[in-house]
């Protein structure tokens, strides 16, 4: 049973982020050449949420073509973007017209210069904020996607405030993974205390918090035991932080298939194996990225 999939329609990107896990200069068209059969297979196997990631989806019309194909099915389509191309309402309409229901725009820092520096692109921050403003005025569900490293783990409360000011729906705070493993945060306490503070102070806030980090579960358990969060909140965060790889599949633009977003080694390639074969041999019980 597959619940979520992360796919890449292309490696092409208009940025060159310092932390990016995606290896470029690979064959771009394998996924695209097979997209209809892959989407049909995923749908038959239960797919309900599809994330567009890898390069920058909005720099290629392939993304719109694939999304249009998916829009005929009962699948929630989620776009991950750096927002650079979302310059006006015409682009918002184009995204909506192909059935995208949620858009996450990456913001790496509250500081425009730090964000641009990390993204190695001048104006990246200004474009991303403009994209979020346009999204907030639309009926698309929107959020900030922040990749947490030592450079920004002291900014998490300010980033949350930014999401509130922008009147968007979510902030997703995902620790950076390199080579399939979580990178060590030298100030882990700053990271975990910020999450603790944000979760305990914003249980009724309009901006939802998304985290995915197994190491945080004991902290949430302690918060439950100390009555800082309700049982429902605890269950929500426990589920978010747990490994979902037995319900997830990732397919890169070159056709490589991975169980988890940041795994190093593919479990197969769609040109060499059928998806049935790949799924049969890919169940493992613990996710290497946690
Ligand atoms: C790979 S990008 C693709 C979509 C788009 N180009 C963007 O920047 O949002 C999707 C998300 O993955 C994050 N990301 C990239 N490399 C990562 C890594 N090594 N660990 C954790 N997140 C990462 C990015 O910061 C971004 O929020």
Q: For 166-200, what is each residue's pLDDT tens digit? A: 999 999 999 999 877 889 999 999 999 999 999 99
Confidence of residue 49 (pLDDT cuts 50, 70, 90): very high
Ligand 1 centroid to residue 20 C-alpha, Å: 6
More confident residue, 203 or 37: 37
**Is 281 exposed, middle or buried (CB count within 10 Å of its CB: 0-12, 13-18, 19+)?**
exposed
Examine the pLDDT at 110 and tell me if it is beyond 90. Answer: yes
Cα gap 110→88, rounded to integer Å: 23
- Find out whether the beta carbon of 76 lies less than 6 Å from any atom of ligand 1: no
- Find out whether the beta carbon of 142 lies less than 6 Å from any atom of ligand 1: no
- Find out whether the beta carbon of 22 lies less than 6 Å from any atom of ligand 1: yes
Q: What is the pTM of this model?
A: 0.96
Helix (H) or strand (E) holding 276: helix 275-281
Ligand 1 centroid to residue 271 C-alpha, Å: 26
| Cα 41–Cα 46–Cα 49 angle in degrees, nearest 5 | 100
Residues in the chain: 290
Closest ligand 1 atom to Cα of 105? 9
CB atoms within 10 A of CB 288: 18
The whole-number average pLDDT for the span 250-274 is 89
Q: What percent of the chain is modeled with pLDDT above 70? A: 97
Task: Decide if 290 is inside a domain.
Answer: no
Task: Decide if 274 is inside a domain.
Answer: yes
The whole-number average pLDDT for the span 106-121 is 98
CB distance 83 to 131 below 8 Å = yes
Cα gap 86→95, rounded to integer Å: 9
Closest ligand 1 atom to Cα of 104? 9
How many domains, in total, are found in the chain?
A: 1
Buried b (16+ CB within 10 A) or exposed e, 220-235: beebbeeebbeeebbe
According to the model, what pLDDT value does residue 285 have?
46
Q: Which domain holds residue 56?
A: 4-281
- Find out whether the beta carbon of 4 lies less than 6 Å from any atom of ligand 1: no
According to the model, what pLDDT value does residue 260 have?
79
Helix (H) or strand (E) holding 50: strand 49-52
Task: Decide if 48 is inside a domain.
Answer: yes
Mean pLDDT of the chain: 93
- Find out whether the beta carbon of 145 lies less than 6 Å from any atom of ligand 1: yes
What's the Cα-to-Cα distance from 220 to each of 155, 193, 195, 235, rounded to whole Å? 21, 11, 10, 9
Task: Decide if 17 is inside a domain.
Answer: yes
Task: Decide if 186 is inside a domain.
Answer: yes
Task: Decide if 287 is inside a domain.
Answer: no
According to the model, what pLDDT value does residue 283 have?
58
Task: Decide if 134 is inside a domain.
Answer: yes
Q: Whose CA is nearest to atom 25 of ligand 1?
A: 147
- Find out whether the beta carbon of 81 lies less than 6 Å from any atom of ligand 1: yes
Examine the pLDDT at 288 and tell me if it is beyond 90. Answer: no
- Find out whether the beta carbon of 147 lies less than 6 Å from any atom of ligand 1: yes
Query: Which DSSP state fits 185?
Result: P
CB distance 268 to 282 below 8 Å = yes
Examine the pLDDT at 203 and tell me if it is beyond 70. Answer: yes
Ligand 1 centroid to residue 288 C-alpha, Å: 18
Task: Decide if 288 is inside a domain.
Answer: no
Confidence of residue 9 (pLDDT cuts 50, 70, 90): very high
Q: What percent of the chain is modeled with pLDDT above 90? A: 83
- State the CATH number of the domain containing residue 168: 3.20.20.70
Examine the pLDDT at 80 and tell me if it is beyond 70. Answer: yes
Closest ligand 1 atom to Cα of 175? 21
The whole-number average pLDDT for the span 35-57 is 97
Confidence of residue 289 (pLDDT cuts 50, 70, 90): low
Give the relative orientation of helices 217-225 and 188-201 as an angle to the nearest 10 degrees.
40
């Amino acid at each position: 049973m597959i619940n979520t999939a992360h796919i890449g329609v292309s490696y092409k990107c208009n940025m060159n982020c310092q932390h990016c896990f995606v290896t470029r200069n690979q064959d771009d068209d394998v996924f695209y050449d097979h997209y209809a059969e892959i989407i049909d297979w995923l749908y038959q196997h239960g797919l309900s949420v599809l994330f567009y990631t890898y390069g920058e989806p909005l720099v290629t019309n392939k993304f719109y073509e694939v999304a249009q194909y998916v829009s005929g099915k009962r699948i929630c389509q989620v776009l991950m973007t750096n927002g650079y191309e979302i310059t006006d309402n015409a682009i918002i309409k184009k995204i909506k017209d192909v059935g995208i229901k949620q858009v996450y725009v990456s913001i790496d820092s509250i500081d425009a210069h730090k964000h641009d520096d990390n993204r190695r692109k001048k104006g990246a921050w200004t474009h991303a904020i403009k994209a979020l403003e346009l999204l907030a005025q639309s009926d698309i569900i929107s959020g900030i996607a922040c990749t947490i490293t030592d450079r920004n783990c002291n900014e998490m409360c300010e980033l949350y405030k930014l999401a509130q000011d922008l009147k968007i729906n979510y902030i997703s705070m995902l620790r950076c993974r390199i080579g399939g493993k979580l990178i060590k945060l030298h100030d882990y306490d700053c990271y975990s205390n910020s999450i603790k503070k944000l979760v305990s102070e914003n249980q009724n806030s309009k901006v939802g918090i998304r985290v995915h980090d197994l190491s945080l579960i004991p902290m949430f358990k302690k918060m439950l035991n100390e009555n800082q969060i309700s049982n429902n909140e605890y269950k929500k965060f426990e589920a978010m932080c747990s490994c979902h790889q037995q319900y997830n599949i990732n397919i890169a633009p070159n056709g490589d298939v991975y169980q988890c977003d940041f795994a190093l080694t593919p479990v197969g390639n769609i040109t060499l194996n059928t998806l049935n074969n790949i799924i049969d041999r890919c169940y493992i019980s613990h996710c290497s990225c946690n």
